[in-house]
């Protein structure tokens, strides 16, 4: 069965964006960017909310940006061909290899898990991830922990609906002092 994963950069105090919505503290780091590129290649479909979808629209045409280096062009190519499902109550159409969700989050994930397809089901964005977590649908939490305190913003973890044990299955420290942590949801006892 396909895993549902939630992966984002996060500050040491637990935020994916700072108080003004910025992520400039994540900074360009070629080693971490390469790791994220490798990670996205394991994804079979990406679920996004409207805000993240609109933010990521840049990558649909990024291959036309002459300022991009080879690593960013590789990312753009992967993102462009990756199937995406967008959850929105305000959008009436989406671009690229994306479609609007036709059902609720649980129904979409159930349908995607039942498909004979390769790759994980990735959830992007803390709001959509919070909904999936409340429904008990996330199998793995993956975070790139940045050595910075931003003092507020959008949290990586929402307030969970119930207690949840996690098992650490992978960790890695990058030369930039970013720490990757991958946790699998532990079976309930």
> What is the reported pLDDT for 28?
76
| 3-class secondary structure, 6 | strand
- Show Cβ contacts of residue 158 under 8 Å, excluding neighbours closer than 6 positions: 126, 129, 130, 133, 134
Q: Degrees (nearest 5) of the Cα angle 183, 187, 189? A: 135
56 band by pLDDT with thresholds 50, 70 and 90: very high
Residue 32, number of CB atoms within 10 A of its CB: 20
Range of the domain at 173: 4-185
How many domains would you assign to the chain? 1
CA dihedral of residues 139, 117, 170, 84 (deg, nearest 10): -70
pTM of the full predicted structure? 0.93
Q: SS3 for 15?
A: strand
Predicted pLDDT at 160: 67
Q: In 3D, which of 141, 132, 126, 81 has the Cα closest to residue 104?
A: 132
Question: Tens digit of pLDDT for each residue in 82-137?
Answer: 999 999 999 999 999 999 999 999 999 999 999 989 999 999 889 999 999 999 99
Mean pLDDT over 54-68 rounds to 93
- Quick one: pLDDT at residue 158? 82
Percent with pLDDT over 90 in the chain: 84
Indicate if the pLDDT at residue 161 is higher than 80: no
Task: Give residue-wise pLDDT tens across range 5-28.
Answer: 999 999 999 999 999 988 888 877
Contact between 180 and 145 under an 8 Å Cβ cutoff? The reply is yes
For residue 98, the domain's CATH number is 3.40.430.10
What does the chain come to in residues? 189
């Amino acid at each position: 069965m396909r895993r549902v994963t939630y992966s984002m950069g996060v500050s040491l105090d637990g935020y994916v964006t700072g108080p003004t919505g910025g992520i400039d503290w994540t900074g360009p780091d070629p080693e971490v960017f390469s790791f994220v590129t490798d990670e996205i290649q394991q994804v079979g479909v990406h679920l996004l909310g409207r805000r993240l979808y609109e933010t990521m629209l840049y990558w649909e045409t990024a291959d036309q940006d002459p300022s991009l280096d080879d690593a960013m062009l590789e990312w753009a190519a992967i993102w462009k061909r990756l199937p995406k499902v967008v959850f929105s109550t305000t959008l009436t159409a989406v671009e690229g290899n994306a479609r609007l969700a036709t059902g609720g989050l649980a129904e979409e994930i159930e349908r995607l898990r039942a498909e004979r397809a390769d790759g994980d089901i990735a959830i992007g964005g803390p709001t959509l991830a919070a909904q999936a977590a409340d429904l008990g649908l996330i199998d793995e939490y993956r975070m790139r922990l940045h050595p910075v305190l931003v003092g507020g913003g959008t949290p990586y973890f929402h307030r969970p609906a119930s207690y949840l044990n996690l098992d650490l299955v992978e960790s890695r420290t990058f030369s930039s002092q970013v720490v990757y942590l991958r946790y699998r949801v532990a079976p309930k006892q």
